[in-house]
Amino acid sequence: MTVAREIMTPDPQCVGENETLVDAARMMASLDVGALPICGEDKRLKGMITDRDIVVKCLAQGGDPSTTTAGSLGQGKPVTIGADDSAEEALETMKRHQVRRLPVIDGHDLVGIISQADVALSLTEAETGRTVAEISEE
């Protein structure tokens, strides 16, 4: 049985909950990613932030990304998967919650992220197409 830790991208970089959206955007640019986990002062996962969140929830609303914190956009409890949960459970979680990126935790520690690209590398072509379509349903 393939488990989440076998298909995840390990060692994700976090943006701090008190860092600004400018900081988050710069981090995304330097890492060439479109989403980052938001971690608290206690190093625990607080949420996820995407480049789209910055544009839609801050810039488009007239907000100031140099004073708005990443933590202010992290709403609710983040959807996660355990590192030793099955890859199938991770995929079902992504589909059920319509998330394209799924933080992987081991206990309380963030250890990786499963993205659609990770899914594509672990499935057959037909399974990948079906899974991506189901994750992307509105």
Taking 60 as the threshold, does the pLDDT of residue 32 lie above it? yes
Q: What percent of the chain has pLDDT over 70?
A: 93
The two tokens of residue 115 are 């993205």
Least confident of 15-19, 74-78, 89-93, 133-137: 133-137
pLDDT confidence of residue 137:
66
DSSP 8-50: SEES---EETTSBHHHHHHHHHHHT-SEEEEE-TTS-EEEEEE
Contact 11, 112 (CB under 8 A): yes
Taking 90 as the threshold, does the pLDDT of residue 132 lie above it? no
- Closest by alpha carbon to 131, among 82, 104, 96? 96
pTM assigned to the model: 0.84
Q: For the domain 4-135, what is the CATH superfamily, name and number?
A: CBS-domain (3.10.580.10)
Would you list the domain boundaries of the chain?
4-135
Q: What band does 9 get if pLDDT is binned at 50, 70 and 90?
A: very high
Chain segment 59-73, per-residue pLDDT in tens: 999 999 999 999 998
pLDDT confidence of residue 54:
96
